[in-house]
Structure 1
Amino acid sequence: MLKRRAIGWLIICITCYILLLVRLMQIQLFETKTFSKHNINLLEESVHQRTQEVVIDNGRGNFLDRNGNMLTHKKVPVLVLFPFLKKMEWSINKVSSIAGIPGKFLKQAVENAKKPFAYGDPNPLELTASQMERINALKIPGVFAIEKKYERSTVPAEQVIGLTGENPQELKRRYSNKDLSEQTLIGVSGLEESFDEFLLPEGKSKLVYHVDGDGAPLFGINVRYVDPANPFYPVNVRTTIDKDLQQKAEDLVDQYHVSKGGLVLLNIEDNSVLASASRPKINKNNPYNGGITNEMVKQQIMGSVFKTVVAAAAIDYSLDSSSRLFDCSKKINGDPELKYNYGMLNFTDSFARSCNRTFGELAKDLQKMDPHLLEKYAAKLSLTGPVGWQGNVYHTSDFKQIADEEIGRIFLTDDARKDPNYAGMSGIGQHEVRATPLAVANMMAAIARGGKKEMVRVASKIEYKNGTTMVNFPEEEIKGDSISPYTAMKLQKLLREVVLNPNGTGKWFQNLPYDVAGKSGTAETGKYMNGKQFYNKWFAGYFPYKNPKYALVAVNLDVSDNEGGVNSLFADMVRMLYDKDKGQ
Structure 2
Amino acid sequence: MKKKRMRILAVVLAMFMLMLIGRIAYIQLVSTESFSKHDVNLIEASVNQRSQILKIDDGRGKFYDRNGIPLAHEEIPTLVLFPFLNKMNWPIDQVASIIGRTEWELRQSIAEAKDPFVFGGDDPIELTLDQSKAINELKIPGVFAVNEKLYHDQIPAAQLIGTTNISDAEKKKRYPDMQLSADTKIGNTGLQRTFDEFLLSDGESKLVFHVDASGGPMFGVDVKYVEPANPLYPVKVITTIDKSIQEEAEKLVDERGIEKGGLVLIDIEKSEIVAMVSRPALNKKDPNGEGAINTMLTQKTPGSVFKTVTAAAVIDYEAASPTRTFDCDKTIEGEADKQRELGRLNFENSFAQSCNRTFAELSKEIAVKDPDFLDKYAEMLGLVGQSGWQGDVYHTAVTQLYHEQKGKVWHDEQLKKDPKMIAKTSIGQQDVQTTPLAIANMMATIARGGKKEQVKAVSKVEFDNGTTVVDFPTQTMAGDTVKPYTAMKLQHLLRKVVTEVKGTGASLKNLPVEVAGKSGTAQTNIEKGELNKWFAGYFPYENPKYALVTVNFETNESSSSMTPLFSDIVNVLYSKDQNIREN
Provide TM-score, normalisation by structure 2.
0.97
C-alpha deviations, 1:204-232, integer Å up to 9, x for none?
Answer: 11111111222211111001111112111
Distance 1:216 1:17 in 2: 37
- Is the 8 Å Cα contact of residues 153 and 284 (structure 2) preserved in structure 1? no
Structure 2 residue aligned with 1:141: 141
Q: Does 1:518 align with 2:514?
A: no
Structure 2 residue aligned with 1:543: 539
Distance 1:519 1:535 in 2: 16
Instruction: Tell me by how many angstroms 1:311 deviates.
Output: 0.5
Q: Does 1:504 align with 2:503?
A: yes
**Code of the aligned partner of 1:439:** A
Distance 1:434 1:366 in 2: 21
SS in 2 for 1:352: helix
Q: Does 1:298 align with 2:298?
A: yes
**Code of the aligned partner of 1:446:** T
- Is the 8 Å Cα contact of residues 539 and 546 (structure 2) preserved in structure 1? yes
Q: Report the CA distance shift for 1:527/1:104 in structure 2 as closer, same or farther (over 3 A).
A: farther
Aligned residue pairs, count: 580
Instruction: Tell me by how many angstroms 1:321 deviates.
Output: 1.4
C-alpha deviations, 1:399-437, integer Å up to 9, x for none?
Answer: 011022111111111222322211111111111101100
**Code of the aligned partner of 1:511:** N
CA RMSD of aligned residues (A): 1.3
**Code of the aligned partner of 1:249:** A
Instruction: Tell me by how many angstroms 1:527 deviates.
Output: 5.8
**Code of the aligned partner of 1:321:** S
Distance 2:438 2:320 in 1: 25
Structure 2 residue aligned with 1:327: 327
The structure 1 segments of at least 4 consecutive aligned residues displaced by more than 6 Å after TM superposition are none
Provide TM-score, normalisation by structure 1.
0.97
Distance 1:44 1:324 in 2: 80
Structure 2 residue aligned with 1:420: 419
Structure 2 residue aligned with 1:29: 29
Q: Report the CA distance shift for 1:502/1:101 in structure 2 as closer, same or farther (over 3 A).
A: same
Structure 2 residue aligned with 1:582: 578
Instruction: Tell me by how many angstroms 1:107 deviates.
Output: 0.9
Q: Percent identity?
A: 51
SS in 2 for 1:554: strand
Structure 2 residue aligned with 1:261: 261
- Is the 8 Å Cα contact of residues 161 and 190 (structure 1) preserved in structure 2? yes
Moved more, 37-46 or 497-506: 37-46
- Is the 8 Å Cα contact of residues 63 and 236 (structure 1) preserved in structure 2? yes
C-alpha deviations, 1:67-121, integer Å up to 9, x for none?
Answer: 1111111111111111111111111122112112221221121112111111112
Which structure 2 residue ranges, 5 or more long, are not aligned? none
Instruction: Tell me by how many angstroms 1:555 deviates.
Output: 0.2
Which structure 1 residue ranges, 5 or more long, are not aligned? none
Instruction: Tell me by how many angstroms 1:28 deviates.
Output: 1.8
Structure 1 residue aligned with 2:344: 344
Distance 1:326 1:11 in 2: 104
- Is the 8 Å Cα contact of residues 56 and 205 (structure 1) preserved in structure 2? yes
Q: Does 1:231 align with 2:231?
A: yes
SS in 1 for 2:35: coil
**Code of the aligned partner of 1:330:** K
SS in 1 for 2:292: coil
**Code of the aligned partner of 1:105:** E
Moved more, 565-574 or 520-529: 520-529
SS in 1 for 2:291: coil
Structure 2 residue aligned with 1:476: 475
Structure 2 residue aligned with 1:487: 486
Structure 2 residue aligned with 1:553: 549
Structure 2 residue aligned with 1:180: 180
SS in 2 for 1:350: helix
Structure 1 residue aligned with 2:193: 193
**Code of the aligned partner of 2:11:** I
Instruction: Tell me by how many angstroms 1:259 deviates.
Output: 0.8
- What are the equivalent positions in structure 2 for 1:3-152 lying under 5 Å apart? 3-152=3-152
Structure 2 residue aligned with 1:565: 561
Distance 2:182 2:174 in 1: 13
- Is the 8 Å Cα contact of residues 556 and 564 (structure 1) preserved in structure 2? no
SS in 2 for 1:435: coil
Instruction: Tell me by how many angstroms 1:192 deviates.
Output: 0.8
- Is the 8 Å Cα contact of residues 535 and 560 (structure 1) preserved in structure 2? yes
Instruction: Tell me by how many angstroms 1:528 deviates.
Output: 4.7
Instruction: Tell me by how many angstroms 1:254 deviates.
Output: 1.1
Distance 2:544 2:79 in 1: 49
- Is the 8 Å Cα contact of residues 194 and 400 (structure 1) preserved in structure 2? yes
- What are the equivalent positions in structure 2 for 1:196-211 lying under 5 Å apart? 196-211=196-211
